[in-house]
């Protein structure tokens, strides 16, 4: 950061403080991770200078020969990584990837069906405060109150009643495997499109430790960070490309357009302009890293760590939604601990542990308060922490949650957290 220090010392100090915070903190937000130094370098590199509206070989700007190479590399690697026929690496985020899919497959007012936000879904799966709930007729399915798992009897009955044009599977705070095969059966029965949003488990899917949506879903979206451990961004994939069935034709030739063409057009120019070539370059690195054997070991360890942590919490009488986890996510209902998710999040942050407050199924509190917290293991697994550290971290969390108003307790935990973090540095080069 020598240039930043010289040119803008004020911002340098801010960035330095963030670097120190990340080093000194146990990052347990399920949607966060630490990229490799190579990805950091690419994300802040020379490709940021180049505008490249359009797609490789079909740009609206000159001088795109090398950014075309980078984007094609990212596309080819992504196709290989997930075993898909089509991939678009341009969406700036998972939400924008989802919007592009909706723009392609749906018309405003069409009915969609996704997992209720408070039951582990995502804003873009039909929430009333989001474009997905405002532009489309949104129906929500839920988890079973006893099991905490998706209620497929309800999924089928709602599908038969409302005949959604698209069913969305996946979520933001769902700790179990997404059962793509069961969603496929329902979608087939009513003739609906099936979309998988694998933003959270995509790295686990790539590594083979979570079921793949590719054989079952018409279209797949994801972010490129979280368990995939790349830069923040979005992607769209299809296992098989095919002609659209809703009457979109090429105006000059009159041929039926491929769905891939429609998706590409929905991303650009439909939804965004110039792609972020520095981020696409960083995505290419991330996809390459995810193909390595070490990544498969890493992904399995993410899940193993989450299982250890969930079991520790269960033994300490915490209510773990669905009774455990199959993924990187542990969703905790703190109702029996006499503390809200918001209060727990604040106390834990003071102790150097970052989590996020989260609604739990059938939550009686508002989204701003919540009854639960969401804990994730991708970032601490990147630091090479294992089962012993998971047990320590669970103990830290329990100590803070059960004594959240005691500053001495919090400071004591904070010093132990700092000691643990010092033993597992994120990057070799640090301001410490």
Q: Give 225-257 pLDDT, tens digit per residue.
A: 999 999 999 999 999 999 999 999 998 899 999
Read off the DSSP letter of residue 180: H
Looking at residue 288, its pLDDT comes to 98
For the question of residue 197 being annotated catalytic, the response is: yes
Q: Give the pLDDT band (50/70/90) at residue 366.
A: very high
- Residue with tokens 């995810």, as numbered in its chain: 290
Q: Give the pLDDT band (50/70/90) at residue 329.
A: very high
- 3-state DSSP assignment of residue 319: strand
Q: What is the pLDDT of residues 74-84, one digit of tens each?
A: 999 999 999 99
87 with 188, same domain: the answer is: yes
Q: Where are the alpha helices (DSSP H) in 146-222?
A: 152-162, 180-190, 202-206
Q: Is residue 137 part of a domain?
A: yes
Q: Is residue 365 part of a domain?
A: yes
User: Residue 195: which domain range?
Assistant: 42-290
231 with 377, same domain: the answer is: no
CB 273 within 8 A of CB 53: yes
For the question of residue 226 being annotated catalytic, the response is: yes
239 with 310, same domain: the answer is: no
Q: Identify the active-site residue in 229, 232, 301, 337.
A: 232
| Residue 418 to residue 325: CA distance in whole angstroms | 27
**329 φ, ψ (degrees, to nearest 5):** -105, 130
Q: Identify the active-site residue in 197, 218, 333, 389.
A: 197
For the question of residue 53 being annotated catalytic, the response is: yes
Q: Is residue 9 part of a domain?
A: no
Q: Is residue 29 part of a domain?
A: no
Side-chain half-sphere of 172: how many Cα atoms within 13 Å? 24
Q: Is residue 87 part of a domain?
A: yes
Angle between helical axes of 180-190 and 152-162 (0-180°, round to 10):
20
The encoded tokens of residue 118 equal 């408070």
Q: What is the pLDDT of residues 266-324, one digit of tens each?
A: 999 999 999 999 999 999 999 999 999 999 999 999 999 999 999 999 999 999 999 99
| Residue 268 to residue 25: CA distance in whole angstroms | 39
Q: Is residue 22 part of a domain?
A: no
CB 1 within 8 A of CB 16: yes
Q: Identify the active-site residue in 32, 41, 53, 68.
A: 53
Check whether 429 has a pLDDT greater than 60. no
Q: Identify the active-site residue in 226, 307, 337, 414.
A: 226
Q: Is residue 10 part of a domain?
A: no
314 with 282, same domain: the answer is: no
Q: Identify the active-site residue in 221, 223, 354, 370.
A: 223
| Residue 362 to residue 359: CA distance in whole angstroms | 8
Read off the DSSP letter of residue 68: H
Helices (H) and strands (E) in the chain, counts: 16, 15
Which CATH number belongs to the domain containing residue 83 in this structure? 3.40.640.10
Mean of pLDDT over the chain: 97
At which of 290, 317, 336 does a domain end? 290
Q: Give the pLDDT band (50/70/90) at residue 432.
A: very low
Q: What is the pLDDT of residues 153-177, one digit of tens each?
A: 999 999 999 999 999 999 999 999 9
Which CATH number belongs to the domain containing residue 321 in this structure? 3.90.1150.10
Looking at residue 2, its pLDDT comes to 84
74 with 145, same domain: the answer is: yes
Q: Is residue 123 part of a domain?
A: yes
119 with 240, same domain: the answer is: yes
| Number of domains within the chain | 2
For the question of residue 223 being annotated catalytic, the response is: yes
Q: Identify the active-site residue in 12, 22, 41, 51.
A: 51
Q: What is the pLDDT of residues 81-132, one digit of tens each?
A: 999 999 999 999 999 999 999 999 999 999 999 999 999 999 999 999 999 9
For the question of residue 21 being annotated catalytic, the response is: no
Point out which residues pair with 319 in neighbouring strands.
Answer: 333
Please state the rounded mean pLDDT for residues 183-209: 98
């Amino acid at each position: 950061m020598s240039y930043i220090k010289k040119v803008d010392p004020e911002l340098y100090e801010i960035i330095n403080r963030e670097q120190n915070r990340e080093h000194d903190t146990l990052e347990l937000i399920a949607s966060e991770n630490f990229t490799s130094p190579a990805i950091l370098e690419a994300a802040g590199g020379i490709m940021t200078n180049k505008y490249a509206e359009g797609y490789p070989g079909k740009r609206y700007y000159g001088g795109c020969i090398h950014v075309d190479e980078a984007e094609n590399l990212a596309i080819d690697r992504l196709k290989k990584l997930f075993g898909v026929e089509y991939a678009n690496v341009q969406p700036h985020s998972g939400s924008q990837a989802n919007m592009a899919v909706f723009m392609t497959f749906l018309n405003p007012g069409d009915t969609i069906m996704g997992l209720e936000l408070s039951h582990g879904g995502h804003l873009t799966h039909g929430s009333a405060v989001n474009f997905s709930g405002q532009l489309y007729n949104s129906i929500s399915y839920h988890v079973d109150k006893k099991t905490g798992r998706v209620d497929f009897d309800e999924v089928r009955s709602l599908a038969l009643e409302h005949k959604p044009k698209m069913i969305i599977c996946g979520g933001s705070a769902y700790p179990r495997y997404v059962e793509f095969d069961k969603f496929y059966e329902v979608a087939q029965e009513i003739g609906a499109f099936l979309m998988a949003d694998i933003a959270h488990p995509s790295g686990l899917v790539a590594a083979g430790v979570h079921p793949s949506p590719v054989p079952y879903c018409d279209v797949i979206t994801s972010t490129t960070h979280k368990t995939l451990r790349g830069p923040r961004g979005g992607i769209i994939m299809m296992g098989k490309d095919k002609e659209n069935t809703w009457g979109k034709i090429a105006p000059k030739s009159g041929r039926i357009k491929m769905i891939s063409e429609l998706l590409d057009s929905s991303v650009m120019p439909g939804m965004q302009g110039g792609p972020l070539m520095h981020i696409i370059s960083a995505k290419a690195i991330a996809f390459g890293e995810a193909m390595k054997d070490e990544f498969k070991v890493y992904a399995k360890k993410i899940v193993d760590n989450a299982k250890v942590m969930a079991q520790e919490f269960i033994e300490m009488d915490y209510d773990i939604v669905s009774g455990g986890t199959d993924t990187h996510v542990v969703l905790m209902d703190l109702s029996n601990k006499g503390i809200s998710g918001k209060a727990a999040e604040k106390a834990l942050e003071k102790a150097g542990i970052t989590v996020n407050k989260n609604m739990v199924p059938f939550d009686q509190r508002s989204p701003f308060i919540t009854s639960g917290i969401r804990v994730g293991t991708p970032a601490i697994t990147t630091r090479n922490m294992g089962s012993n550290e998971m047990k320590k971290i669970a103990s830290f969390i329990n100590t803070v949650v059960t004594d959240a108003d005691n500053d001495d307790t919090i400071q004591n935990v904070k010093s132990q957290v700092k000691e643990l973090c010092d033993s597992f540095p994120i990057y070799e080069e640090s301001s410490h």
